């Protein structure tokens, strides 16, 4: 129990470590999202925005398991701190904010109550760090496909499209380019 509490406290301290400048072009302040159907190659498919908060490059690994981790870059261009608290996905029973830690040498993802994103700040949910854990997947996730889900913030929900990358991928296939 003490380890879980210490893990939670350590992970809540990570916003300071996760904040960085990230130059993305475009206007902030209105929701921006495009369905991933016919426009599969469009830039809008992996950029969503609401209330000055942008979610960029949402992705997960292909899997046949009933659990997956969703990774995404979150930018807060608003004048106020926002709190990421979890998510929702039609293809999963639950979508929980989690943080990675090694406990007695074993990898563990523990549920977190929330992740603050400072005004003007940037947080990356990535492998061996923060993630949204999808439990109870209703279908396999195949490389090259995508699905919609919501990120839950204290101000409301942000719709995103999650790209399914290779089972062994360690980053979004478009990572490193500008928007």
Query: Helices (H), strands (E): how many in the chain?
Result: 2, 11
Q: pLDDT digits over 85-121, tens only?
A: 999 999 999 999 999 999 999 999 999 999 999 999 9
- In sequence order, the 6+-apart residues with CB closer than 8 A to the CB of 177 are none
- CATH C-level class of 2-165: mainly beta
Give dist(CA 43, CA 175) in Å, integer: 12
pLDDT at 41: 42
Predicted confidence band of residue 172 (pLDDT cuts 50, 70, 90): confident
pTM of the model: 0.77
Q: In 3D, which of 121, 127, 139 has the Cα closest to residue 172?
A: 127
Neighbours of 78 (CB within 10 A): 18
Mean pLDDT of the chain: 81
């Amino acid at each position: 129990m003490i380890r879980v509490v210490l893990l939670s406290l350590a992970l809540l301290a990570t916003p300071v470590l996760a904040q960085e400048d990230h130059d993305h072009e475009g206007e902030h302040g209105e929701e921006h999202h495009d369905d991933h159907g016919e426009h599969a190659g469009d830039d809008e498919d992996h950029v969503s925005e609401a209330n000055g908060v942008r979610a960029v490059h949402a992705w997960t690994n292909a899997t046949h398991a009933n659990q997956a981790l969703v990774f995404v870059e979150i930018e807060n261009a608003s004048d106020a701190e926002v709190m990421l608290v979890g998510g929702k996905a039609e293809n999963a029973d639950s979508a929980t904010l989690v943080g990675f830690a090694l406990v007695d040498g074993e990898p563990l993802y523990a549920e977190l109550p929330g992740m603050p994103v400072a005004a003007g700040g940037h947080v990356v949910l990535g492998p061996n760090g923060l993630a949204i854990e999808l439990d109870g997947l209703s279908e396999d996730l195949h490389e090259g496909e995508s699905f919609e889900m919501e990120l839950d913030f204290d101000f409301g929900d942000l719709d995103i499209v999650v790209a399914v990358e290779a089972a062994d991928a360690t980053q979004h296939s478009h990572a490193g380019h500008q928007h």
